[in-house]
Structure 1
Amino acid sequence: MHQVVVLAYDDVVPFDLSVPVEVFGRARLTDGGPAYEVRVCAVTDAVRAGAVSLRAPYDLSVLADADTIVVPGVADLDVAVPPAVLDALAGTPARLLSICTGAFVLAAAERLDGRRATTHWAAAAELARRHPAVTVDPGVLFVADGPVLTSAGAAAGLDLCLHVVRGDHGAAVAADTARSCVMPLERAGGQAQFIAYEPPTPAGHGLQPLLDWLTDNLHRPLTLADIAAHASMSTRSLSRRFRDQIGTTPVQWLNRQRIRRAQQLLERTDHPVERVGTLVGFTSPTAFRESFRQLVGVPPRAYRTAFPPEPRSALAPPRPRRS
């Protein structure tokens, strides 16, 4: 039987640890038998996991027989990974999965070098900084690069595990597993983490006043020529300075800001989707839908379905009663 071994170590995220145990543990073949044998192992007898302490029934020796090893996320990225864990991961021929910041552990074991990987969007820039040999994709739910698979945060680990079940045993087993876990059918790995990721803008550069002006004028259908005129530069000089200081083009930067603002409006207002597109400077509903889908991974209507605005009564203060 296929053996799945889940690693536990100090400062592990309890949710990330439980996800593979639940998903793989609930998977059943068509004849009703278990699809996987799931084991949890640790370096020490007791493992600190947030507000709880855990005892794993196995030590690292079980990794030698593992077909799949799952590395859950770690809460503190500065906590040193035990050398025994890194050695075991570096030398194993098993398929490797990481959930959330577990990608940092795989990267420390040099198992992500030369590969594409993902992690929680808030930690993606740090993963790329610490491990430049890794191609970090911060905008997807999970990445499958050969025998090494990485997922984004929280629920994306569920998506990844279900994706693995489907690849191992087919869609019917995966669907039954999803129902058993009371999970929706899996989302595609390329679906975005519902955030228009943007690399941090360096502080203290000469373009900051222009960026502030652009942010205040997202509702206007600005062109590159409009932006250059406001900055008193040629379009070529403006593009070069943006590329040097921001790492992207003026129009790309502006488009990301528009989509971020659109996300906020979709979450916090009941404006029609077409109205939201107009409010953030898009001249046509088609252009808005295409840009939104490209950056977020789903169309604006699907995004609003996932993150519906609160009822107006919940957003507005109650009216005073007349005496």
Structure 2
Amino acid sequence: MALKAITKASDTIEVSTTIVALYGQPGTGKTSIGGTSAHPLLLDFDRGSHRSAFRPDTVKVEAWADVAQIARDDLAGYSTLVVDTAGRALDFLAAAMPPTEGKTQLKRPSGGLTLQGFGRLKDDFVSWLRKVNTFGLDVILICHDKEEKDGDQRIVRPDITGGSYHEIVKVADFVGYVAKLDGRSTILDFNPTAQWIGKNSAGFPPLPVPDFATDPEWFAGIMARMKAALGGIAQRQKEAVDKLAEFRGQIEFAKTAGELDTWNALIEEAASLGKPLSLQAWTALKKAAEGQGLVYDRDAKAFRAKAEPGQKEGTPEAREAA
């Protein structure tokens, strides 16, 4: 099968969809936040949509079979799929799994998942999420919170079954904690702190959650900023690739010129690119210079000619030989 069109490292990537995980205690407004996203459809696994003051169109899920074969046409007219809650969705998926698959035991006699079963659970759920993404929809995963002890520190994280937690945090572009500060005002914080887990690719500060009666599309705007930030990361990657390509062109010129001054000027040029580009540029420069019979003098912070047997490095004869 022929490869599809290749996106080169120097090409700009447009970010059109994103996966966001929101977690917090009951009653903090997580589902309501999801309801202010762009054209949302709520999959109510937790049977709690009636408690949301800003409930969007809703599917009350009775079993994993209700959503397993979800298709693009089922989601026509919607831009965001809100899964409430991800933990309960995983419970439904686990219940639908067979006890065995070939010779692999997925469930114990008690009905609990084996280690292989948990692996299959996370793989199937992530595949389902990615399928929804291919339909052009954003996904919001609503989760309850769970407090765990890490040494002497207590930390709050999304309440998600077993190893699926790590996989979902990895696949999510953003992970935010919803908390009530004084019993009334609510914040959404994507920053990881000593108290809670977070993932903040856009560098958001803690966000005050507004009254949705006056701002009913609040999270739609936040998600638009998320995609712009992710697109900015892709743009910076393109700029980095372009800079490295330009620097490699200067190395080729130095090979042609064959002058120490030209090579030494590139040392400063490589340093000016800043981390992490400077390291990559220096590695390429040093390798190319060594290929031309030069060595780097750490004391002088400059290249010099490598001595031939019987010669001292840096002598006119050595430079001429180079």
Whether TM exceeds 0.5 here: the answer is no
Q: Structure with the greater relative contact order (CA < 8 A, sep ≥ 6): 1 or 2?
A: 2
Would you tell me which structure has more strand in proportion to its own residues?
2
> What TM-score does the superposition give when structure 1 sets the normalisation length?
0.22
CA radius of gyration, larger in = 2
Would you tell me which structure has more helix in proportion to its own residues?
1
